[in-house]
Amino acid sequence: MDVKDLKYYVTVVEAGSFSSASRLLHVTQPALSWSIKQLEEELGIQLLERYNHGIEMTPSGQILYEGSKEVLENFARLERSLKTETELYRREIRFGLTTLSSINYMDAFESFRKKYKQYDLIFVQRGSKEIQSMLIQGEIDMALISQPVYFPKLETNANYLKGYYYDVGVVVSHRNPLFNRTELTLEDLKDCEFSMVTKDYAVGNEIPNRCRKLGFEPNIVYQNENWEVVVEHVAAYDSVSVLPYEFSNVLKRNDIKWIKLKDHDVSRFYLQLVTTFDLNNKPEHLLYWRVYNELMAFSQNPLDHYI
């Protein structure tokens, strides 16, 4: 007696005839009749009374029917559990990160990789706004983004990570009259030429928006998606830029200075873990919170000792 025989038997009982059951099971009627006969012989009992109009269960057949239903339900549950584990095994996850997050949280993702070997994290490095667009379009699965969330569809599965943020600073050349300042406001920069990262980045969007709210249009003379090229423009042409302060530790040069930006709206950008996964789905829910919890284990912000 095996699971297939029990499935055949239950289907015959519930269909009410061998002909109906054979159509449901996609097997021939003689093969189905032979399977039930073999089951009766193996158990040494008659399971069905056969009539021209159909079949009826014997008392023993009723007992087998009820027990078989339970066995089949348990077997289906086991199959689902095994399928879940199989889906988790060596699953490829496309993960979006900004340049800064790639640098700062490398240890967290390396820890995740070693702990959960069933996942392959494939990193895609872009600006925060572009990453969000890629999530919406299904090009990546999950991302660590900076505020704000630009697409309402992403807000449901976006969670802040306590201690995860970056502060921004103003970059000026050594020839700039503002070079000796220890902090600056955006109003201090209203007569300056700006060199900025593109609008694919949160900073590239939010700094100009904040300037407009403060009553002036920033004079953006140069834009580039590469922050190192932006800094080079600042140094060469005496423009100013607003960039994550952490880059000052990565790019050390004497012809520029990083000055703290003082602004209650845009001086600090908080980070969120966001996904388009269906978190009602057990494997995706489990994966998302595994990533979240691993990041929280590294929640002491590496920028704290710079600012």
pLDDT of residue 77: 80
Output the pLDDT for position 118. 85
Average pLDDT over residues 50-63: 88
The more confidently predicted of residues 306 and 201 is: 201
Q: Is the pLDDT of residue 87 over 60?
A: no
User: How far apart are the C-alpha atoms of 300 and 292, rounded to whole Å?
Assistant: 14
The closest of 268, 271, 219 to 102, measured between CA atoms, is: 271
User: What confidence score (pLDDT) does residue 307 get?
Assistant: 29
Choices 3.30.70.20, 3.30.499.10, 3.40.630.10, 3.40.190.290: CATH for 165-268: 3.40.190.290
Distance between first and last Cα of the chain: 72
- Amino acid letter, residue 115: K
165-268 has the same fold as 91-163+271-296: yes
Question: pLDDT confidence of 88, banded at 50, 70, 90?
Answer: low
What pLDDT was estimated at residue 217? 96
Report how far residue 268's alpha carbon sits from residue 54's, in angstroms, rounded to the nearest whole number: 76
Instruction: Say what the pLDDT of residue 99 is.
Output: 86
List pLDDT tens digits, range 256-280. Answer: 999 999 999 999 999 999 999 989 8
Question: Looking at domain 91-163+271-296, what is its CATH homologous superfamily?
Answer: Periplasmic binding protein-like II (3.40.190.10)
Q: What is the pLDDT of residues 92-143, one digit of tens each?
A: 899 999 988 988 889 999 999 999 888 889 999 999 999 999 999 999 999 9
- Give the integer Cα–Cα distance in Å for 152 and 137: 14
Question: What percent of the chain clears pLDDT 90, i.e. is strictly above it?
Answer: 59
Give pLDDT tens digits for 213-254: 999 999 999 999 999 999 999 999 999 999 999 898 888 888
Q: Which two tokens stand for residue 170?
A: 């103003």
pLDDT at residue 83, as a whole number: 63
**Given this model, what pLDDT does residue 301 score?**
45
SS3 117: coil
Using the structure block, give the residue that is written with the tokens 């872009």.
126
Lowest mean pLDDT among 87-91, 119-123, 171-175, 184-188: 87-91
Q: Residue ranges of the domains in the chain?
A: 3-87, 91-163+271-296, 165-268
Give, in order, the Cα–Cα distances in Å from 206 to each of 128, 196, 247, 265. 11, 11, 18, 9
Instruction: Say how far apart CA 299 and CA 199 lie, in whole Å.
Output: 28
Amino acid 283: pLDDT = 85
CATH level 2 (architecture), domain 3-87: Orthogonal Bundle (1.10)
User: What is the pairing mode between strands 241-244 and 256-261?
Assistant: unpaired
Tokens of 108: 């967290």
What does the pLDDT average to over 190-199? 96
If one compares 194 and 79, the residue with the highest pLDDT of the two is 194
